[in-house]
C-alpha cells in the first residue's frame, strides 16, 4: 500500500476526528456547542477527543465556563497540519509531524517466580497432594516448599486430610478456588513488589 493510500485509509478510520479538526482549523476560537452541532458528533465522543487534545496542549480552555459543557470555549493553540491528530492506546498520534504524545505509559507488572504457576494448578484442582501440585505446575518440590508458608498465609489452603498413596500416608490439601482467583487477580494488578516479596499485604493470618 502506498503512503498516499495509507493516508486515505487513516482518514476514513478517523473521519469524526478529522471533521472536528477541520472545524477547529477554520475556527481557531470555538465553542463546544457549535462543534457538536456543526460536526454532528455525540457529546461523549467529543468530550473524549477534546480531553486528549487539551492534555497534549493542542487546545487551551479560554473561558471560565465549565458547565454546561456546550458553553466551554477553546482556542486551537498547536496547529501542526491538515491531518487530525488521532487517539491511540498510548495517547495521541500526530501524523503531520509523525510524533506520538504519550499519556498512558504501559505499566510493568512483576510476577513472583513459580507462584503464579502453583496458583494456576490450584485453580484447576479442588484438592491435591504436593506431588500432584508439582506435576501440574511444573515446579520442583523445593520451589513449592519455598512458597508453602506464604501460600498458607494467603488463605488459599482451606483444609487438608490424609490418605494412603502407595502404602504411604500423605497430606491432601483442599483449596479455596475463589481465594486462589482473587490472589491471581491481585498479582496481575501488581501486588508483588520489591518491598513486599512475601505478599504480606495479602495475608489472611
Q: In the prediction, which pLDDT does 194 show?
A: 81
Give tens-digit pLDDT for 47-103: 999 999 999 999 999 987 777 888 899 999 999 999 999 998 888 999 999 999 988
Which residues are CB-contacts of 104 (< 8 A; sequence separation ≥ 6)?
A: 89, 90, 91
**Please, what CATH class does the domain formed by 115-202 belong to?**
mainly alpha
Considering only CA atoms, which of 178, 167, 179, 175 is closest in space to residue 203? 179
Helices (H), the chain: 3-13, 15-26, 32-39, 43-55, 115-123, 130-137, 141-153, 177-188
| Spans of all domains in the chain | 3-102, 115-202
Q: In the prediction, which pLDDT does 135 show?
A: 94
The three cell numbers of residue 164 are: 494412603
Specify the higher pLDDT residue, 191 or 118. 118
Q: In the prediction, which pLDDT does 152 show?
A: 95
User: Do the domains 3-102 and 115-202 sit in the same CATH topology, yes or no?
Assistant: yes
Give tens-digit pLDDT for 9-41: 344 456 889 999 999 999 999 999 999 999 988
**Residue carrying C-alpha cell 473561558:** 63
What SS3 class is residue 160?
strand
**Please, what CATH class does the domain formed by 3-102 belong to?**
mainly alpha
What rounded mean pLDDT belongs to the chain?
A: 88
Specify the higher pLDDT residue, 90 or 132. 132
Amino acid at each position: 500500500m502506498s503512503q498516499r493510500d495509507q493516508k486515505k485509509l487513516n482518514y476514513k478510520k478517523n473521519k469524526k476526528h478529522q471533521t472536528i479538526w477541520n472545524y477547529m482549523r477554520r475556527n481557531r476560537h470555538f465553542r463546544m456547542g457549535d462543534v457538536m452541532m456543526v460536526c454532528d458528533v455525540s457529546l461523549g465522543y467529543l468530550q473524549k477527543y477534546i480531553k486528549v487534545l487539551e492534555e497534549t496542549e493542542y487546545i487551551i480552555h479560554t473561558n471560565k465556563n465549565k458547565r454546561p459543557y456546550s458553553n466551554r470555549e477553546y482556542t486551537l493553540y498547536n496547529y501542526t497540519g491538515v491531518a487530525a491528530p488521532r487517539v491511540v492506546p498510548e495517547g495521541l498520534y500526530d501524523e503531520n509531524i509523525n510524533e506520538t504524545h504519550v499519556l498512558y505509559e504501559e505499566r510493568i507488572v512483576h510476577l513472583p517466580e513459580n507462584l503464579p504457576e502453583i496458583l494456576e494448578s490450584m485453580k484447576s484442582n479442588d484438592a491435591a497432594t504436593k506431588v500432584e501440585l508439582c506435576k501440574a505446575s511444573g515446579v520442583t518440590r523445593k520451589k513449592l516448599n519455598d512458597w508453602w508458608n506464604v501460600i498458607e498465609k494467603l488463605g488459599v489452603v482451606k483444609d487438608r486430610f490424609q490418605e494412603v498413596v502407595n502404602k504411604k500416608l500423605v497430606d491432601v490439601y483442599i483449596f479455596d478456588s475463589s481465594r486462589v482467583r482473587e490472589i491471581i487477580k491481585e498479582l496481575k494488578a501488581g501486588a508483588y513488589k520489591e518491598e513486599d516479596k512475601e505478599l504480606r499485604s495479602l495475608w489472611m493470618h
